[in-house]
Amino acid sequence: MKNFRENLMARFVTELIIGIITFIGILLMGDKGTVLFSLIALLVIFRKNKMDEREYQLFYKAGHFTAFGVYLAMFFIYYFLPNINWFFALASVFLFFHGLSGSIIFARE
């Protein structure tokens, strides 16, 4: 199980890095920065077919914290960055918060 847990940690860290790179690309290049979402194809490397109940529970827990982070980011993006593409900015923020919360949760438990 340890190897599988490490693969999920690698997946969450990859999501975190892709979220940061994509958000910076959108800020700097505008709509052309959305091309960086193609990096999400790297997540296929860390895909596993079988998860036990504990991994499912931790994965869903990470999703709950992700929702909270995305709601906060919606407010800041709407009021402080009104000129960027709303959809792609939130998608990159989702990847960032899902990677951040998942890596913290899986490291602690």
Q: Does residue 41 belong to any structural domain of this protein? A: no
Contact 43, 11 (CB under 8 A): yes
Torsion from C-alpha of 43, 49, 53, 57, nearest 10 degrees: 20
Q: Does residue 11 belong to any structural domain of this protein? A: yes
| Overall domain count for the chain | 1
Q: Does residue 10 belong to any structural domain of this protein? A: yes
**What pLDDT, in 10s, does the model give residues 23-51?**
898 888 888 888 888 888 777 776 666 77
Q: Does residue 39 belong to any structural domain of this protein? A: no
**What pLDDT, in 10s, does the model give residues 59-85?**
889 888 999 999 999 999 889 988 888
Scanning the chain, the segments in alpha helix (DSSP H) are 2-29, 53-80, 86-108
Q: Does residue 64 belong to any structural domain of this protein? A: yes
Q: Does residue 23 belong to any structural domain of this protein? A: yes
Q: Does residue 48 belong to any structural domain of this protein? A: no
Domain span at residue 8 reads: 2-34+54-108
Closest CA to 67 of 90, 85, 88: 90
Please give the Cα distance from 11 to 27 (Å, whole number): 24
Q: Is the pTM of this model over 0.75?
A: yes
